[in-house]
Structure 1
């Protein structure tokens, strides 16, 4: 049987078995694997056990391995532990943990009772926590492997699968796990299915990810909360101090004023910028669905640059003083804010963190002091547009979707991609089938039924294309 005929049989198997693929996904979605809440630790272990058992049916050696937190799943297709062989060897990554469901009152149906419903525009969608992020996404790959195994008795390439349970809480225990197990995780490249499409009909490959620095700053003044009638006008108010400092971070053109913030930041190459310009991402398309109309980033930059390839700063939350029902005239003793910086290639997370702290402390009145907490940091990642697996995936996606895949930058951060490069020496191929309206991290999370179906078919084609790609 020719390679093309073999692939066609695999695609036919995916179509014929799709109802069973859905039920397998639903079984995983019913598990309440919320990594952030210790009350669901047993459910996280259940999800790991479930996936290990399911993947073992594909003929892979599959086991649940402990970490300092929630366990990880590691499965191998019988390749040698050093990963060396004639065929390409990929390390596939996904995560089984999900976000908390709060506020529960905003869900249209119970979040762990998945169902297929109709979207307002007529699309069929899978609704449930984890439907897209990341259970639906990782199962597109597992189901593609299942089809290959069923039809041919083997996989087109050598494969290691690693699925973690703490991505939604920063993967803090996963990097030590990689260090400890790196001799058993050797591969030629990594595959990550935790990204999105350009639009419902246009596939995409993510070639860059912004890095992240997440800081918390607490401004303290008096030794207790004060009566604003007695002390107002004479005592420093930490909320006023904090908001004045945060407000000064941005100038009138939307640029960040922290000294050295843009050191190392480069403009996009002209040919890449022209490609992005042709994508025509307008405020009408991007902002109107969320009730906005005017881009808030750096003036003189395309909207797609603002959200994909330029560094940013956002205040994610502010707490201070009395926030309960009714009124209480108080000058608080302290106020705090959480701030995230999205970084691009060329920026050093530690330098950005230190520059922010210096910026704050240099602007404090004499009676105030600042305390800082480092919640997370990760460097930006820029992938090689000329890597052979990327070219193979792009051909495969074009065959499935009938149009070229967009090579796009992502404004989000996936720290594990940098960890794969730093710890395992692996470049990553990032292919996913999420859409902008999937409500990830929000109530009523969804995954388009078409994304799930064609995602499986896409991975089947990608595996075939990778098998024909010479090793780098």
Structure 2
């Protein structure tokens, strides 16, 4: 404990220097989606390799068909736990540029109305500020004690914001090198500004595009209306059948393997004091639309969904055109929870559609990705230690939360590297990631460093 105390003191004493390093990294225009910034992405990777090497890691830049990976190792002893820390150094484009108060790659400190300070720049929260909280914690350990109490591997990606096309081949090629006891992922948020959180549940995803064709060309509705099948009518009828009056999805076998949350998890979520009215009211809604009898948090984190994300067909331009279209299409996504099989859900949906087609209608299906839901066991010892460390730092009980979306890297680490992930980040919902004037709270950056120092110490404790 005495070594941790000195490490925390070192972090506080050197905080201004850590802020300077963050600003240096934020100035690099590492936009991965735009080839014009390919040299800048490489500069960011090289900056991280140099920085990690300077504090004692064996760091290297690894080439990929796209932007390079950064891999760094600190090897302590064979009997010490081994963690893999993941982050990404690439950032989103800055458009629309005119909405930025100051240039997006000229980081600055802004004072909020309540007197708190925040770091404003593209990448401040997503993900440069987040990943450096871990690096700074490791820096303080090495400077203060001469070593880390864990074996640590760091993987920093340069294509997360552009679909990670190089990630799967890279993980498969480096499986032996990167596999560890647990992965630590920083690309997430706290529950609120004073309550740290670990995300332990993520929903999976199945995406399907369906195209229904009836006549061999568009038809005049006065000449053919009533006598010919309208694919929009067919499509909307099928989509309207997906849910019953209670909000349940009616696909055969859809809920196979789906379990209710445990009483302990429900009690934990109840303690979060989530305001359903304020949550829905913030987007102009009043009434939950999911399964009847389920709380909004259950609907978001622990229940599967079927959602229609887009419909197209017929004439949608200015004015009016009385046409019966030849084709109509829709994009449908299913958010899945642990226990559901993505392939079975896809097959069930396709049969559901085919069974409802009239004789003159044909359907094409186009798959758009799929992956299962994920959950970390409540009994995972690394989870318990990390929760305790976060609680110690923030002096408020760390929350165990779910995520309504999907984070592909978590599934890849599980499937390819065979390990669970702890999602621990210090962002806030109002950080404006992917938007103009992205920010990261100064307190998130400061206490994020201290939190990681405590987590490193806790994971190293064999008790």
Tell me if both proteins adopt one fold, taking TM over 0.5 as the criterion. Answer: yes
Give TM-score, length-normalised by structure 2. 0.91
* Partners of 1:110 and 1:371 in 2: CA distance: 46
Match of 2:201 in 1: 208
For residue 457 of structure 1, give the secondary structure of its aligned residue in structure 2.
Answer: helix
Is the alpha carbon distance of 1:293 and 1:17 closer, same or farther for their aligned partners in structure 2, counting shifts above 3 Å? farther
* Partners of 1:106 and 1:261 in 2: CA distance: 44
Shift of 1:170: 4.1
CA contact (8 A) 1:170 1:376 kept: no
What CA deviation, in whole Å up to 9, does each residue of 1:363-395 have, x standing for no partner? 233333222222221211111222222222122
Shift of 1:105: 5.4
Match of 1:63 in 2: 60
CA contact (8 A) 1:94 1:134 kept: yes
Is the alpha carbon distance of 1:93 and 1:248 closer, same or farther for their aligned partners in structure 2, counting shifts above 3 Å? same
CA contact (8 A) 2:66 2:166 kept: yes
Match of 1:320 in 2: 313
Residue 221 of structure 1, aligned match among 214, 220, 237 = 214
Give TM-score, length-normalised by structure 1. 0.89
What CA deviation, in whole Å up to 9, does each residue of 1:181-226 have, x standing for no partner? 1121132211111222111111111222111112222333344444
Residue 394 of structure 2, aligned match among 398, 401, 404 = 401
CA contact (8 A) 1:211 1:381 kept: yes
1:239 aligns with 2:232: yes
CA contact (8 A) 2:268 2:399 kept: no
Match of 1:295 in 2: 288
Is the alpha carbon distance of 1:317 and 1:98 closer, same or farther for their aligned partners in structure 2, counting shifts above 3 Å? farther
* Partners of 2:323 and 2:50 in 1: CA distance: 57
Structure 1 window deviating more from structure 2 (309-318 vs 236-245): it is 236-245
1:304 aligns with 2:297: yes
Match of 1:47 in 2: 44
What CA deviation, in whole Å up to 9, does each residue of 1:46-93 have, x standing for no partner? 3323322222222111112123443211111146xxxx7121111111
For residue 133 of structure 1, give the secondary structure of its aligned residue in structure 2.
Answer: helix
* Partners of 2:269 and 2:179 in 1: CA distance: 35
Shift of 1:437: 2.3
Match of 1:29 in 2: 26
1:412 aligns with 2:409: no
Shift of 1:109: 4.5
* Partners of 1:62 and 1:228 in 2: CA distance: 67
Is the alpha carbon distance of 1:67 and 1:207 closer, same or farther for their aligned partners in structure 2, counting shifts above 3 Å? same
For residue 367 of structure 1, give the secondary structure of its aligned residue in structure 2.
Answer: coil
Is the alpha carbon distance of 1:373 and 1:66 closer, same or farther for their aligned partners in structure 2, counting shifts above 3 Å? farther
Match of 1:132 in 2: 125
1:383 aligns with 2:376: yes
1:150 aligns with 2:143: yes
For residue 257 of structure 2, give the secondary structure of its aligned residue in structure 1.
Answer: coil
* Partners of 1:31 and 1:235 in 2: CA distance: 59
Is the alpha carbon distance of 1:120 and 1:285 closer, same or farther for their aligned partners in structure 2, counting shifts above 3 Å? farther
For residue 126 of structure 2, give the secondary structure of its aligned residue in structure 1.
Answer: coil
Structure 1 window deviating more from structure 2 (102-111 vs 21-30): it is 102-111
Q: What is the CA RMSD across the aligned residues, in angstroms? A: 2.6
Match of 2:432 in 1: 439
Shift of 1:234: 4.4
